[in-house]
Structure 1
Amino acid sequence: MARNASQVPTDWVTRAADEAVRHAGEGKPVTCASGASPSGPVHLGNLREFLTVHFVADELRRRGVDVRHLHSWDDYDRFRKVPAGVPAEWADHIGRPLSAVPDPWECHTSWAEHYKAPLREALAEMGVEMVEVSQTEKYRAGTYRDQILLAIRERAQVETVLSRYRTKKGDDEAAEAEPAEDLSRFPYKPYCRGCGRDTVTLLSYDDATTDLAYRCQACGESHTTNVATQDEGKLVWKVDWPMRWAFEGVDFEPGGADHATPGSSYTVGKDVVKIFGATAPSFVAYGFVGFAGMQKMSSSAGGVPTAADALRILEPAILRWLYVRRAPKQTFDIDFGPEVVRLYDEWDALTKKAADPAKRDVAVLAWERAAATADTTLPTPTVRVPFRTLSSVADVTAGSADLISQVISHVGFPHASVSELEPRLAKAMQWTHEFVPAEERTTVREAPDADRLAALDEQESGWLRLLVDGLADFDGDLDQDEVTTLVYGVPKLARGFAVEEKPSDEVKADQKVFFKLLYNLLVDADRGPRLPTLIVALGAERVRRLLTP
């Protein structure tokens, strides 16, 4: 049965947006929230946090809903360990807020900012707009004082909720054995006033004065902080997250699949948030994103690819598409190897489909979400050249963008300037340079293979003469269509057929042998880029020189 052309397709974004509106209340502003700790490179797995929220907020924006994408940087989290490549003396900063740890590369004001900055740039390139919140700034400004005091006053109730979800036997026994006023599970933890670390043991808390006394295990100093007047710490994570849901009025927030398991942060938070007088936001769990073909992805610490890395070879719309075309719970890999060529082919085919309104379905809806936001269209080349063609020419020429542009014009894609090929041309050049293994690169011979040319049989010699003579007949620069006709036509001509005739089985067999011969003589391999493209890229004179004894 034919699909109703007027039917509007729906996807996971549609459903999540509907849930966010229901949580907020019809006609009310909607807050969609994301959060991340800038403790290291924000890799492509972490990117799912940002894009999941972006697509939902963007859908609401398209509907005319008053919506904000609120992103919390958990830069007030502790610095946990010194990664490879960082001086060992940075271990002295373990336990301090990420915002207080110096940038060892000295290019940003702090460890946290070092990892925020490149992610901001990548998100801007992908059309993601969000309101950023620094938890360091919020806590130190006293923004959450009332919420902190509430959590402390209701600490017995908080502990009742947290203990309900503990699964370790030791924790259960400790909960039963410990008196309620024990401070080992106090919902608030200060950073030491002396050394700035969170390595503190709480000694006492006075409900009347809100004085919290502690001793630092790292520096040995003892201090007292007044929770009502001094802002020197933060709530523990499983209280902090639901507190922010209530404070910011969050209506939708995703999380990794681990957050939705029994006893996890979201599960516990659904009960803790009630203490703050609110309800948990609508939630979707997202799955793992893996990586392949990224052996040379060296810009990130530990070789973990980031959005900035991916954008070196993928158009922004295509990177968005990888995330929006699958339901969040679906896991997937991003492959930076040969799969990139197939990915571009798939995107181009979908782009053609999307041009036909009668073919609008869920796949096209994903394309629409990836190709544009409610406010802007993502950059796309004016002249769309297949990625495999661009990368093949970049491989063969190993030249400048201008040289590649010249060849591309002669292989069937005329254009007025290099800019009409961007951003795809730059991506293809980068991919060819960085991700095509040396053994798979096309290396054009510097000089003719004298031994192989001397060993040509009569049939092979005849094929090469027909090709060289045919190239000499062309006026000026080579044309892709003419060269294609000639290359496929040589074995036909050798057997007395016209080039436009359908090849016989014998001709087809000859073509395979002839093509292998050309690859051997031009690039010292049995295969390579499409021969017409290769010949146009090399030019008639260079081909003639390599094929003539």
Structure 2
Amino acid sequence: MPSNTPVINDAELLEAARVSKAWPFEEARKIVERLEKEGAAADRVVLFETGYGPSGLPHIGTFGEVARTTMVRHAFETLAPGVKTRLLCFSDDMDGLRKVPTNVPNQEMLANYINMPLTKVPDPFGTHPSFGEHNNARLRAFLDSYGFQYEFASSTDYYKSGRFDATLLKVLEKFDAIMDIMLPSLREERASTYSPILPVSPRTGHVLLVPLVSRNVEKGTVSYEEPDTGEIVEVPVTGGHCKLQWKADWAMRWAALKVDYEMAGKDLIDSVKLASRICRTLGVNPPEGFNYELFLDQEGKKISKSKGNGLSIEDWLRYASPESLQLFMYQAPRTGKRLYFDVIPKNVDEYLSFLTAYPKQAVKERLGNPAWHIHAGNPPTEELPISFSLLLNLASASHSEDKDVLWGFIRSYAPDATPERFPRLDHMVGYAINYFHDFVKPSKVYRAPSEIEKIALADLAEALERAEPQTSAEELQNIVYEIGKTHGFENLRDWFRALYEILLGEAQGPRFGSFIALYGVKETVSLIRRALAGEDLSRG
């Protein structure tokens, strides 16, 4: 549904952006200051970069970095109207395969290609010329489906085409200075064989982790001892004949491409510092950026591409909207967050709340509203009649996985609601059915009411039967409250928890008056009567 929210005046938008405390604006102001210190020319293009290591399938963390960087990019464009920007999604697909991911097929085959560049490793899925190209395609397809504006770059292409050659020769020239930066950060055993320049063996094609025997700055070559044969081999550092170790590679890329902004996970703080020092050694200021906290799986462990733990991108989109995923990325990026299925419903409803609040807010408040950043300053205007949590409880109480059945309840509650008028709500019905089927239904545990609860439930059923057909959700909630108070529930949370556990088989639920209004007064009375009769509510 197109936005009809009043357009913000450019001048007041710029003024609000300059003082906004929303984190994308705080980041964007760092880039503005960078350009001011530089005395940048009018035609200066600001380059944002994100990195991807295609040694494993793309995961939500990969998407999160692009989504967050896009938010900073838009905030910068708001602060600096007219300044051109680019977002480069760079894949380190020339890196050697160091271990076999556990979440892909044909692992025995992949084990034969350890140390080969990822673009030379066969695709275990059999759909692309190489494993690197398969993973690159997966990432691009997903980013394209979101409508991200970006350019994709392949490390293999950049190395082999010569785009990095001038900077690679600079790395060779500054080899000793780079070693001085790196060696103190390494364990003694690793330091004894470390080289920031990794030759690609002409014999095996492997990206070799070997020390260099000699370097020739004038010729632009390095020499090494070929494993197994002991032969001394000389190769150019240019043209894809060598690949840099990743910290040096990161710095070289920043320097070669003149990257202005790149964020990274908290686990890479020390790596950012080292790469920044190397970048300065190469004569270029490192990019601006910040360190975000890591996503954790259900056990509190860092999510990993190779392990495939935590939620996949596809998982989230089976149960919730893309916008709710972007909200998860926007919220508190410097706070570690558990990324598991049970965080989804909350993010869906919070997204809808932010969307509903946006048109009523002043300019400064709007720029702090996540919906502004998720929708690049133009959130749609749409206020839905029910929440996602209510839909989940409707599916739970009705035991229905039929969209038409759920829409029947919705139309009884909101007669003007139709799938055509509320397409977002129609999508939510589908998400709710999927979530109910996969998570709610298998974990539902009903309990029998205690004697006190039986009396309270019987009185509640009678009170609801006396209610007028058009009784509002708020009035129904008051009826439930009064029954709880009358029957001595000192803490009304205990009364509502009893309703959820006895009638819905869950420990918590929605505002109960809203649930009654949606599910239907008669249907709720029937549910209570069945519980009092000892029927098995898990059968629907």
Superposed CA deviations along residues 76-133 of structure 1, whole A, max 9, x for unmatched, are 1111112335422321111011222222122343322333344334434444321111
Cα 1:442–1:417, aligned 2, differ >3 Å: closer, same or farther? farther
Is 2:401–2:433's contact at 8 Å kept on the other side of the alignment? no
The answer to whether the 8 A contact 2:345-2:389 is kept is: yes
CA contact (8 A) 1:9 1:362 kept: no
* Aligned partner (choices 32, 46, 51) of residue 67 of structure 2: 51
| CA displacement at 1:343 relative to structure 2 | 3.5
Q: CA deviation at 1:487?
A: 10
Say how many residue pairs are matched: 498
- SS for the counterpart of 1:34 is strand
Question: What are the equivalent positions in structure 2 for 1:41-440 lying under 5 Å apart?
Answer: 41-62=57-78, 63-84=81-102, 86=105, 87-163=107-183, 165-166=184-185, 168=187, 184-199=193-208, 201=210, 202-217=212-227, 220=229, 222=231, 224=233, 226-227=235-236, 230-261=239-270, 264=271, 266-292=272-298, 302-326=308-332, 328-337=333-342, 339-358=343-362, 360-361=364-365, 364-370=368-374, 372-373=375-376, 377=379, 383-395=384-396, 396-412=398-414, 414-417=416-419, 419=423, 421-436=425-440, 438-440=442-444
Residue type of the partner of 2:373?
Answer: R
Task: Mark the CA change 1:167 to 1:80 in structure 2 (over 3 Å): closer, same or farther.
Answer: closer
> Quick one: distance in 2 between partners of 1:93 and 1:277?
37
Q: CA deviation at 1:17?
A: 1.0
CA shift, 1:438, in A, is: 1.4
Q: Distance in 2 between matches of 1:400 and 1:407?
A: 11
The corresponding residue for 1:17 is: 28
Residue deviations 1:424-463, cap 9 Å, x none? 22322222222325132789xxxxx9xx9xxxx9999998
The worse-fitting range, judged by mean Cα deviation, of 59-68 and 18-27 is 18-27
| Residue identity matched to 2:185 | R
Could you tell me how far apart the structure 2 residues matched to 1:516 and 1:323 are? 31
Which amino acid is 1:147 matched to? T
Q: Kindly state the Cα deviation for residue 335 of structure 1 after the two structures are TM-superposed.
A: 4.4
SS state at 1:32 partner: strand
Q: Contact (CA 8 Å) 1:483, 1:536: kept in 2 or not?
A: no
- Shift in Å, 1:37: 0.4
Shift of 1:315: 2.4
1: distance between equivalents of 2:399 and 2:23?
A: 44
Identity of aligned residues (%): 22
Structure 1 pair 155–465 and aligned structure 2 pair: CA distance change class (3 A): closer
Distance 1:377 1:74, change over 3 A: farther
**1:70–1:130 Cα contact (<8 Å) kept:** yes
Specify the code of the residue in structure 1 equivalent to 2:246. W
Q: How far is the alpha carbon of 1:149 from its aligned partner?
A: 2.0
Helix, strand or coil at the partner of 1:303 = coil
SS at match of 2:296: strand
Matched residues in 2 for 1:544 and 1:191: separation?
72
Matches of 1:508 and 1:59 in 2, distance apart?
54
- TM-score (normalised: structure 2): 0.75
**Corresponding position: 1:33 with 2:49:** yes
**Is the 8 Å Cα contact of residues 198 and 245 (structure 2) preserved in structure 1?**
yes
Q: Per the alignment, in what secondary structure is the counterpart of residue 416 of structure 1?
A: coil
Residue type matched to 1:315 in 2?
S
TM-score w.r.t. the length of structure 1 is 0.74
- Partners of 1:203 and 1:10 in 2: CA distance: 53
Mean CA deviation greater in 64-73 or 24-33? 24-33
2:30 alignment partner, SS class: helix
Offset from partner CA, 1:183-234 (integer Å, 9 cap, x none): x54442222223221236445544554454444436x485845417753221
Q: Do 2:311 and 2:340's aligned partners in 1 also have CA atoms closer than 8 Å?
A: no
C-alpha contact 1:382 1:420 (8 A) present in aligned 2: no
Alpha carbons of structure 1 residues 520 and 289: separation in structure 2 relative to 1, 3 Å: closer
**2:410/2:518 contact within 8 Å kept:** no
Could you tell me how far 1:351 is from its partner in structure 2? 3.2
| 1:277-296 Cα shifts (integer Å, max 9, x gaps) | 2111113122222234999x
Question: Which residue identity does 1:158 align to in structure 2?
Answer: I
Q: Displacement of 1:139 after TM fit?
A: 0.9
Q: 1:114 to 1:168 in 2, by over 3 A?
A: same
Give the superposition deviation at 1:488: 8.1
Deviation at 1:302, TM superposition (A): 3.6
Contact 1:192–1:200, Cα closer than 8 Å, also in 2: no
The aligned amino acid for 1:406 is G
Mapped partners of 1:333, 1:301: distance in 2: 16
Mapped to 1, the partners of 2:429 and 2:472 lie a distance apart of 24
Aligned CA RMSD, in angstroms, stands at 4.6
